[in-house]
Amino acid sequence: MKKSLIFVFAVAVSGVLSPGSVMADDAPSSANISALVHVVPLKRGSLPITISAFGQVKPAATAMEIVTAPIDAKVKSVAVQMGQVITKNTPMVTLAPSPDAAASYRQAQIAVAHAQTVLERDRSLAKARLATQTEVAGAEKDLADAQSAVDVLIKKGAQGPLTFKAPFDAIVLKVDAGPGSVVALGGALIELARPDGLMVQLGVDPARALSVKEGDPVSISPLNAGKKDLSGKVLLRSAVVDPNTGLVSVQVSFPPETLLIGENVHATISVGQQSGYLVPHSAVLINGDGGTYVVQAVGTVAKKVDVKVIGSDGGSDVIDGSLDPKAPIVLAGNYQLDNGTKLRIAQTKGPDANGKANQ
């Protein structure tokens, strides 16, 4: 009986230790695990340094003109309206002289008639040797002065209705006086702007404004849907902070007949270049402390490298750090890697890293 039990136990043990069984030493080793990743070569490059700002289309101060009343007058008629585009010599507004202006014109006419009479008398007396040539010359001057006063009043419209015409091709910005209005000498009638004198006025953060220079390229994006981006240049950067907005005014040109006065835009000003290692944005990761890093493939092993992002456009970043210039940058799969992780490199082309930096 004992021999039978020993035989059964031996058979059972031999079954457990048979060659077809799996032992712990035969399990896959973690040292043999590798990650499949995509990489791109590490290259130096640069991105434009940009400043973003919002603004509005306005006429430049040098492109504006205000038509004013030359005398006290009453507005008889207005032939234009705000926003209208007019050509040179288009009738705009007609004034009728005020009673006082009309009276001044009549008095000036009387003065001319009197000066003419005095001159004729002095000339007759001079022929009779009863007046000198000096007296005749004085009378001639008095007549010329009186006539000049009449001419000035005529030019100002004191003799009757005076119609003002556009001095150049213009956009009517504002009609300051309507029919029946009484305007004083120097009062505003019509405000005009030259169509070729429009610009975009931006408001830039004072902390960044000093880096903006005349001639810097600008990308203009109208906020109205459906309009394409435009290209312009910086015309002027103010040296004064606007007390109302707390921003610095920057004037920018744009192609003619593409934007309307009052239209709002977003603009990106390129103020220089930021150089360093240029990588796709997806290559830059954030660690648990909030710092940024990339993963390089050193041979077939992953290596994390802390970097500083010094420029970005959303699609590409310029970075700086203790990078191995010969080791490519890991893209797809980089977030799962640790130092020393073995890598299998996928044979695919990585994305191109080109663009503009927005600081």
Quick one: tokens of 174?
Answer: 């504002």
Packing angle, helices 99-127 and 133-156, rounded to 10? 160
| Structural domain that includes position 258 | 52-61+196-273
pTM of the model: 0.66
φ, ψ for residue 50, nearest 5 deg: -125, 155
Query: Could you tell me if 158 and 200 lie in one domain?
Result: no
Query: Could you tell me if 91 and 174 lie in one domain?
Result: yes
Query: Could you tell me if 118 and 40 lie in one domain?
Result: no
Interior CA angle at 184 toward 179 and 190, to 5°? 50
In this structure, what CATH number is given to the domain that contains residue 326? 2.40.420.20
Q: In tens digits, what is the pLDDT along the chain, a chain of 359 residues?
A: 444 434 333 334 344 333 333 333 444 445 567 888 888 999 999 888 899 999 999 999 999 999 999 888 889 999 999 999 999 999 999 998 867 776 677 788 788 888 888 888 888 888 888 888 888 898 889 889 888 887 877 777 667 788 999 999 999 999 999 999 999 989 999 999 999 999 999 999 999 999 999 999 999 999 988 899 999 999 999 999 999 999 999 999 999 999 999 999 999 999 998 899 999 998 999 998 899 999 999 988 999 999 999 888 878 889 999 999 999 999 887 888 889 889 888 865 545 544 444 44
Domain boundary among 186, 216, 250: 186
CA distance 205 to 188: 35
36-63 per-residue burial string, b: 16 or more CB within 10 A, e: under 16: ebbbbebeebebbbbbbbebebbbbeeb
Give the Cβ contact number of residue 150 at 10 Å. Answer: 19
Domain assignment present for residue 24? The answer is no
Quick one: tokens of 315?
Answer: 């699609």
Query: Could you tell me if 82 and 164 lie in one domain?
Result: yes
| Residue whose structure tokens are 């799962």 | 336
- Bridge partners of 301, per DSSP, are 298, 342
DSSP 8-class letter at 174: E
Domain assignment present for residue 5? The answer is no
Per-residue pLDDT at 3: 44
Per-residue pLDDT at 13: 39
Give the Cβ contact number of residue 322 at 10 Å. Answer: 7
In this structure, what CATH number is given to the domain that contains residue 208? 2.40.30.170
Query: Could you tell me if 115 and 130 lie in one domain?
Result: yes
Query: Could you tell me if 200 and 213 lie in one domain?
Result: yes
The answer to whether 311 and 318 have CB atoms below 8 angstroms apart is: yes
Q: Determine the residue type at 278.
A: L
Structural domains in the chain (count): 3
Query: Could you tell me if 85 and 177 lie in one domain?
Result: yes
Sheet holding 188-193, edge to edge: 64-68, 188-193, 170-175, 85-86
Query: Could you tell me if 177 and 230 lie in one domain?
Result: no
Quick one: tokens of 324?
Answer: 């191995």
End-to-end CA, the chain:
91
Query: Could you tell me if 329 and 343 lie in one domain?
Result: yes
**Nearest partner of 79 among 153, 182, 194, 164, judged by Cα:** 164
Radius of gyration of the chain (CA): 43
Query: Could you tell me if 283 and 352 lie in one domain?
Result: yes
Domain boundary among 221, 256, 273: 273
Domain assignment present for residue 220? The answer is yes
DSSP 8-class letter at 87: -
The answer to whether 132 and 202 have CB atoms below 8 angstroms apart is: no
Domain assignment present for residue 2? The answer is no
The answer to whether 265 and 223 have CB atoms below 8 angstroms apart is: yes
Query: Could you tell me if 217 and 179 lie in one domain?
Result: no
Quick one: tokens of 282?
Answer: 């997806």
Query: Could you tell me if 204 and 292 lie in one domain?
Result: no
Domain assignment present for residue 350? The answer is yes
Domain assignment present for residue 234? The answer is yes
Domain assignment present for residue 18? The answer is no
CA distance 73 to 340: 90
The answer to whether 288 and 272 have CB atoms below 8 angstroms apart is: no
**Chain centre to alpha carbon of residue 185:** 39
Distances (CA, A) of 236 to 87, 201, 253: 28, 10, 10
Domain boundary among 186, 209, 237: 186
Domain assignment present for residue 13? The answer is no
Helix, coil or strand: residue 173? strand
